[in-house]
């Protein structure tokens, strides 16, 4: 079950009595809850037949009573329980979930955690509801997800602009969606998103960013790497060390994988390490520049400087100072 499948069924008029939405990725839960709140019922129907509870303030008896009411001037009513993970005595909803009212659509949002499947209530929820659980996307999945979101807005995006967008925002699906919507508005009649658009409308420099620092290190271009780090020093929000080190580790860990690919041609490598073929030459170039021992050294340095960045074995060196020192050691 997915958010898209639930919403698709609702658009077809196919409803189940109880939906349980849980897990780590709130974006998909919010997507379903938002549709349930604003789209299942017409505006006139919602006035009588939409009831919303919030877990922190909700009493289980009031929730059950609302669910057991019959709709007024409509085929069905909708009852939403938001932030259900904060609700006291939530297990007392068990009797209703076991025997729900057919004309009620009861949707429960249980964010940032999962119901305990070892307990009776958790087992019952998984068996008796339309059960939807979410987890955070892996960072490697973000470019594809963002690209699909761009396509849903009738747009296209070139690979470099896509990576600028994702690397800048990180694993925040709501913010990625918001920025794509902003781009859609600002592009006007144009349909393709470029690096210039990312710079102009989102505020990411196309010359001084994590992606360009990664490229400079991969090419052993120390002067360029130092220029970018100087930019980060003057603009701390553009490249905090907590964002840079994971990005570099992700890149060089994939470079490291190349050495185990039997036939390291572009197509084989792209499939083996899971990257867009457009960028595979960057990874192959880094593998040639550094060789096995050099990449292994970089991964060890990234671990070391990650510890120093949080104060382990370091007396307070600035982020820029750490990054300059690290870049010199990587390329030395």
> Which residues are CB-contacts of 178 (< 8 A; sequence separation ≥ 6)?
none
Helix, strand, coil share of the chain (percent; to 5): 60, 10, 30
pLDDT of 41 higher than 80: yes
Q: 45 with 24, same domain?
A: yes
Q: 166 with 143, same domain?
A: yes
Contact criterion met (CB below 8 Å) for 84 and 55:
yes
Q: Residue 277: which pLDDT band, with cuts at 50, 70 and 90? A: confident
pLDDT of 238 higher than 90: no
Q: 259 with 318, same domain?
A: yes
Q: 316 with 281, same domain?
A: yes
What number is the average pLDDT over the span 179-208?
A: 90
Nearest to 167 by CA among 200, 116, 204: 204
pLDDT for the residue numbered 90: 93
What number is the average pLDDT over the span 172-190?
A: 92
pLDDT for the residue numbered 255: 93
The rounded distance, in Å, linking the Cα atoms of 319 and 307 is 12
Q: 28 with 128, same domain?
A: yes
Number of domains in the chain: 3
Span 73-93, pLDDT tens digits: 999 999 999 999 999 999 999
Span 110-143, pLDDT tens digits: 998 888 888 899 999 999 999 999 999 888 788 9
Higher pLDDT, 66 or 266: 66
pLDDT for the residue numbered 116: 84
The count of other CB atoms within 10 Å of the CB of residue 117 is: 11
pLDDT for the residue numbered 110: 94
Span 280-331, pLDDT tens digits: 889 999 999 999 999 999 999 999 999 998 888 887 889 999 999 999 999 9
What number is the average pLDDT over the span 17-38?
A: 95
Q: 252 with 176, same domain?
A: no
Q: 168 with 250, same domain?
A: no
Domain span holding position 242:
210-331
pTM above 0.85, yes or no: no
**Among 202, 229, 245, which residue terminates a domain?**
202
pLDDT of 205 higher than 90: no
> Which residues are CB-contacts of 306 (< 8 A; sequence separation ≥ 6)?
245, 249
**Among 134, 158, 175, which residue terminates a domain?**
134
Q: What is the CATH number of the domain that holds 86?
A: 3.40.50.300
Q: Residue 145: which pLDDT band, with cuts at 50, 70 and 90? A: very high
In 205-317, which ranges are continuous DSSP H helix? 210-218, 222-234, 241-258, 266-273, 280-309
**Among 134, 151, 175, which residue terminates a domain?**
134
The 3 state secondary structure assigned to 45-67 is: HHHHHEEEEECCCCCHHHHHHHH
At 104 the three-state DSSP class reads strand
pLDDT for the residue numbered 23: 92
Q: 182 with 237, same domain?
A: no
């Amino acid at each position: 079950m997915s958010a898209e499948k639930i919403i698709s069924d609702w658009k077809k008029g196919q409803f189940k009595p109880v939906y349980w939405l849980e897990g780590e990725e709130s974006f998909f839960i919010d997507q379903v809850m938002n549709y349930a709140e604003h789209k299942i019922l017409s505006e006139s129907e919602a006035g009588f037949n939409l009831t919303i509870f919030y877990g922190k303030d909700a009493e289980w008896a009031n929730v059950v009573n609302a669910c057991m009411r019959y709709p007024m001037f409509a085929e069905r009513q909708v009852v939403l329980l938001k932030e259900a993970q904060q609700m006291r005595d939530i297990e007392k909803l068990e009797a209703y979930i076991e025997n729900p009212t057919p004309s009620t659509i009861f949707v429960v949002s249980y964010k940032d955690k999962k119901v305990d499947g070892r307990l009776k209530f958790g087992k019952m929820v998984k068996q008796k509801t339309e059960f939807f659980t979410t987890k955070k996307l892996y960072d490697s999945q973000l470019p594809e997800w963002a690209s699909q979101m761009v396509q849903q807005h009738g747009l296209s995006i070139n690979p470099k602009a896509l990576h600028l967008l994702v690397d800048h925002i990180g694993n925040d699906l709501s913010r990625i969606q918001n920025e794509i919507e902003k781009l859609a508005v600002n592009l006007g009649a144009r349909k393709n998103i470029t690096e210039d658009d990312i710079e102009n409308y989102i505020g990411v420099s196309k010359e001084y960013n994590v992606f360009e620092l990664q490229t400079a290190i991969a090419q052993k271009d120390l002067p360029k790497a130092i220029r970018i780090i100087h930019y980060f020093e003057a603009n701390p929000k553009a490249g905090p060390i907590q964002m840079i080190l994971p990005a570099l580790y992700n890149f060089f860990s994939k470079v490291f994988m190349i050495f185990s690919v039997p036939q390291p041609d572009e197509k084989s490598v792209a499939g083996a390490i899971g990257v867009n073929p457009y960028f595979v030459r960057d990874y192959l170039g880094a593998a040639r520049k550094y060789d096995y021992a050099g990449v292994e050294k970089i991964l060890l340095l990234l671990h070391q400087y990650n510890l120093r960045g949080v104060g382990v074995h370091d007396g307070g060196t600035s982020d820029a100072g750490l990054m300059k020192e690290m870049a010199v050691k990587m390329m030395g």
